[in-house]
Amino acid sequence: MERHTTLGEFIIKNQQDFPYAKGELTALLSAIRLAGKMVNQEINKAGLAEIRGKAGNENVQGEVQAKLDVLANDMFISTLRDRGDICGLASEELEDFVVFNEDRHKNANYVVLFDPLDGSSNIDVDITVGTIFSIYRRISPTGTPVTLEDFLQPGVNQVAAGYLIYGSSTMLVYTTGNGVHGFTFDPGIGSFFLSHPDIKFPESGRIYSINEGNYVHFPQGIKKFIRWTQELDEADKRPFTSRYTGSLVADFHRNMLLGGVFLYPTGTTAPKGKLRLLYECNPMAFIAEQAGGMASDGYGRIMERQPTELHERAPFFCGCKKEVEKIEWFLKQED
């Protein structure tokens, strides 16, 4: 029986792919891997441990937090703090970024941004959720406290990004700018094993993922794209299939493996879009591009947008290149 490569072995073997390979990538991804295993364990026993439901608080976005939102956020912060390779972090659940001032962090060169539990409203009904993370090299001088500017970098500056998906199996998918690789968690052994090497989006797909309940609020270009996907055209393999779970990680993962496109446009209920540029759009865009897909704000490459605030929102279209280009075409026809 062939022995599969573990995540740790794969990272060490491919450390030369990391722009500043000095062991930092191994430590950072090891911390994320550990936190992900802890969150996975809590999700799997959520009903028994009475940690389903709402926590009774609102996050900085004005959204009611699930109990597991809070738990996952705390787990990632404490696990990352224990490592000396990052000087600060930012979370979708926190209003401000966190500065690490301990001695072991003084020479750290990296910041981490993350969404601890994407799609947490699905927890109570046992639908797939995930964690999204993004890693940047700081731009402020090493040895000084991390600054806001270290976090407000365009997505093209990411040195690594990935997600954990907690579903029928738990997977960690990541990129350092040299392809996308997926690792499946074996709970019996307690390790992630390489299961999906060099993942690629198909050139085009037959799935579209959007909350059509908001159709009346969508821009005309998006309405026309949706109608286009529903037209009968056997040569163009239409109509498409609609699949939407309310979890970006789940929809993105399916679309990357099977071929599809994810949409979250602007609208009267979300005038700037709903997804967060730093915690959701940029890391998923980095993964998409490295897998041969495309990610856009509707008018151009989303990773080139310059963030102006930690919790900035943006419209987001991501998936197979052909469909994302079609979305841009429809939107530009309406200008």
Task: Say whether 37 counts as a known binding-site residue.
Answer: no
Instruction: Give CA–CA dist 55/58, Å, rounded.
Output: 8
Task: Say whether 280 counts as a known binding-site residue.
Answer: yes
Instruction: Give CA–CA dist 317/303, Å, rounded.
Output: 12
Task: Say whether 115 counts as a known binding-site residue.
Answer: yes
Distances (CA, A) of 290 to 137, 210, 259: 19, 23, 15
What tokens appear for 112 in the block?
A: 């981490």
Task: Say whether 279 counts as a known binding-site residue.
Answer: no
Instruction: Give CA–CA dist 136/153, Å, rounded.
Output: 8
Round the CA-based radius of gyration of the chain to a whole number and report it: 19
Instruction: Give CA–CA dist 36/249, Å, rounded.
Output: 14
Task: Say whether 74 counts as a known binding-site residue.
Answer: no
Of 229, 228, 224, which Cα lies nearest the Cα of 207? 229
- Residues forming a β-bridge with 262: 209, 318
Task: Say whether 244 counts as a known binding-site residue.
Answer: yes
Q: Which amino acid is at 117?
A: L
Task: Say whether 30 counts as a known binding-site residue.
Answer: no
Task: Say whether 120 counts as a known binding-site residue.
Answer: yes
Task: Say whether 92 counts as a known binding-site residue.
Answer: yes
Using CA atoms of 185, 187, 191, 195 in order, give the dihedral in degrees to the nearest 10: -30
User: Binding-site residues for Mg(2+), please?
Assistant: 92, 115, 117-118, 280
User: Binding-site residues for substrate, please?
Assistant: 118-121, 211, 244, 274
User: Binding-site residues, please?
Assistant: 92, 115, 117-121, 211, 244, 274, 280
